Amino acid sequence: MDFSSFNIFAIFLATVAGFSAGALWFSPKTFFPLWWRAMGKPADEVPGKGTNMGAIFASLVGSMFIQAVILSGVINGLYENASVAQGALIAVVLGIGIAAMSSVGHRLFAGQGFLAWALEAGNDIVALAVMGAIISAF
């Protein structure tokens, strides 16, 4: 892998965009209430209660950064100058083929079912698509 092809600005933007896509996807006005119920949580339970939300969000940003770095390597490894559409498509394929498929068993064995999985996988696929588009734009 040629690290000279990595654009740190694009990776940073992709990280922020991936995190933001997740925040929008799981906001109280979008899919969070449905996902929360699909996870078997009561409506009156406060999300994150008793946890270190700072550590959770820091871990999430760190994982988004790693995804952006890996995605950048894959896109740049496949295409010298990928178009925005090609970058997004590569990311969608990886999102469906790897992220979504590796997590389906986790949700099913945890007893949370297909809806929780579909909402989480949908978020992963959309976030990766946005990240891939940004990376290939630079």
- What residue type is 17 in one-letter code? A
Q: Are 76 and 10 in contact (CB under 8 A)?
A: no
pTM reported for the whole predicted model: 0.91
Give the integer Cα–Cα distance in Å for 64 and 19: 7
d(CA 27, CA 5): 35
State the DSSP code for 5: G
What b/e readout covers 51-65, taking b as 16+ CB neighbours within 10 angstroms? eeeeeeeeeeeeebb
* pLDDT profile of the chain (138 residues), mean per 10: 77 98 96 93 83 91 97 91 95 96 91 93 97 96
| pLDDT score, position 130 | 98
- Determine the pLDDT at residue 5: 72
Domain map (residue ranges) of the chain: 3-42+53-137
| Residue keyed to tokens 């922020």 | 16
